[in-house]
Each structure stands twice: as C-alpha cells, then as structure tokens.
Amino acid sequence: MVKKLIAVDKLPAFWSHLAGQGKLFLPVKAGLTVLFKEWTEGDEVTLDAPTSAVSPKDIFFPREETYMRYQCRGQTTELSAGEELGPVTAFGVHPCDLKAIEMLDRVYINQDPPDELYQSRREKTTVVALGCTAPDPFCFCGVMGVDPLSAPGADVMAHLDLQRGNLILEAQTPKGVMLLKGAGSLLAEPNGKTFTPAPVKTADFGMKLEGLSESLKERFDDPVWDKLFRSCLGCGVCTYVCPTCYCFDVEDYGHEMAGERFRCWDSCMYGHFTQMAGGHNPRPSRKERVRQRFLHKLQYYPETYGELACVGCGRCLRSCPVNLDIVQAIKALGGEQDVQR
C-alpha cells in the first residue's frame, strides 16, 4: 500500500485540497473543548487531543437528518429526497471512535434491509484514522480490546511523528490509495527513516470483564439496580457523548400541504423514550432506564454481536455530572479485579 508523509506545518494546504473534493471533518478547537466539525479555512485543528468532546459518529449518523420532503399540489403528492450526499473525508478519527463506528455498521448496515442513509454516508466517506500520542486519564480503550495505535478498518492510518514534525500516512484500502495519490506533490515520500510510534498504555480502572455479560442474564431483578440508579439525574449526556449509542426518534414537521419527515437523536435515559400511544410506559422510572442502558452495553449487544458496546473512550467518565459512568456500573455489577492485600 501507499505510504506518504507531510510536515505538520503544511497540513492546512493538504486540508484545503481535501475540502475542495467534498466536506472535510476535523477535530477543531471550540473554546475550551475539541469538536469534530466541518473544516473551514482558519479553524484551529488539534490533532494531539486524546478525544473530542463528542464522538465523530454524527458524520455518519447526524443528530438531525431529513428522510424525505412532501409537497401537495391539488390531487398529487410529490415526494423528494431529504438531501444530496456528496463525498466526505473524516480526518483524525481515533481508533476507539472508528471501532465504535464499526459497531454502528452492524446495526445500520448488516441487516436486511440496511439503513440507506447511514449506508450511503459510510460508502461516500473516506476515513483517515489517527493513532494516539498520549493516553487521556479517562481512557480505558485497552481493556476493551482497542489498540490506540491501530485502526485496521480505516482507509488511511496516520501517526504523528512529533520529534521530526511530520504526519505519516499509510493507505490501507483502495479509497485510501486514491486519497494519498490524489494529493500529488502536497505529500512527500518517506525519507527512509523508520518511524515507530511510542506505545500508549491506557488505564483499566481495576475492571474485570471476563464472564460479566453471561452473569448479567440472571440479574435483571438484582437489588443492585435499586442502589445504582439513585444518583442519576436523567440528563442523558452519557448517551449523547457515547460513540456507540444509536437511539433515535422519527417525527413529521409541516402541515397538510408541505413538510418533511426527519429523525433525530434520542436517549433511552429520557422518560418519554418508551412512552406508548395509550399512555403505558414500560420504563416509568430512572431505575428501569439506568438498567436498560447498562444491560444494553454489557449484555444485550454482546449477546447479538459478541462484544461489549463500549470502546473505552472515557467520554461518559468525563461528562457525567454524578459519576454514574460505565466503569462505576461494571464495578457495581461485580466486574472488579480482586485486590491482593
């Protein structure tokens, strides 16, 4: 496969080239935080940030997207597609976030029929993954089976060579080859010096995951849920920052002559999420909703797809105002290493 490099100070020219091919998303500094957003000239890009505040999943699964629009003309109703999708480059996606996107692929693509909007965005997006340079204190991707230096599913794998001030880019798919070759003289050939990224070791927070999913099958009515939910505020921030959450709502907006049908992110932590038309709600309190969230991550998803629905990005640890994150839940449910005294 093709391997190239570029000096870090020349990256804006490379990004300008990519933005000319279609939308370009990058980790951009926004105040005191970092967000994945569409790049515009002059944005302050931060490639050495461990994680963005919110994952880049909304490149493929937007917070809001229109399915279709309708227009009534006399006795005729005209339907049109919500939006035209063009090529996209997602640049600087960390291995944990790409692993999460691959988990969403199973839900939205590996089914019959696939979700056409999600599938179209995946097919039209070229992903440039970026290896981590230093662990974030909240990250625990290693215990979840993610290598912070490797993203086999990416089209291009990139590493920052901080000592020489270069970004090393290696194509891993035909789409990646096209991206690198299309940049022409903006990218240089490797100078012969082998670059090996420094190891990055993330925390495990004393978690023990072996046998956890299997043990939860008999613990739906366990008294632990009566204690675990009590600090939850029901704010839903955990689901919005989580890269593997995929709940959404479908709504219609407009009037009898014109309007649109769209979907938007929703959260299993909200009381109305399971509210039925007749008024019944099978999850009437925060206890049921907290239980659903953690059982989905730790039991239901693994039963279907064979692995936990968590990539150890640490965003819920950073964002939950009461520290009711997945690490605390795992430990409360018995997934804690024995400590030798």
Q: State pLDDT tens for residues 99-145.
A: 999 999 999 999 999 999 999 999 999 999 999 998 889 999 999 99
**pTM for the model:** 0.92
User: Within this chain, do residues 133 and 239 fall inside the same structural domain, yes or no?
Assistant: no
- Taking each helix axis from N to C end, the angle separating 95-108 and 116-124, rounded to the nearest 10 degrees, works out to 140
The alpha carbon torsion through 12, 16, 22, 26 (nearest 10 deg) reads 20
267 close to 247: Cβ distance less than 8 angstroms: yes
> Could you tell me if 89 and 235 lie in one domain?
no
Whether 44 shows a pLDDT value over 70: the answer reads yes
Is the Cβ–Cβ distance between 187 and 13 less than 8 Å?
Answer: no
Asked if the structure places residue 308 within a domain, the reply is yes
- pLDDT value at residue 83: 78
**248 shares its domain with 319:** yes
99 and 154 share one domain: yes
Q: What pLDDT shows up at residue 339?
A: 43
Q: Are residues 270 and 308 in the same domain?
A: yes
For residues 228 and 277, state if they share a domain: yes
What does residue 212 show for φ and ψ, rounded to 5 degrees? -65, -50
Q: Judge if 153 and 118 occupy the same domain.
A: yes
Q: Is residue 275 part of a domain?
A: yes
Is residue 206 domain-resident?
Answer: no
Share of the chain above pLDDT 70, in %: 99
pLDDT, residue 82, reads 78
Is residue 74 domain-resident? yes
Question: Does some domain include residue 303?
Answer: yes
Q: Is residue 339 part of a domain?
A: no
Domain boundaries, position 110: 3-186
Question: Which has more confidence, 248 or 191?
Answer: 248
Report, as an integer, the average pLDDT of 94-100.
97
End-of-domain residue from the set 186, 204, 236:
186
Shared-domain flag, residues 224 and 168: no
Query: Is pLDDT at 338 greater than 60 in this prediction?
Result: no
In a domain, 193, yes or no: no
| Residues 203-214 pLDDT 10s | 999 999 999 999
Pair (20, 162) in one structural domain: yes
Q: 289-317: per-residue pLDDT in tens?
A: 999 999 999 999 999 999 999 999 999 99
Q: Are residues 273 and 317 in the same domain?
A: yes
Q: Same domain, yes or no, for 17 and 165? A: yes
Number of structural domains, the chain? 2
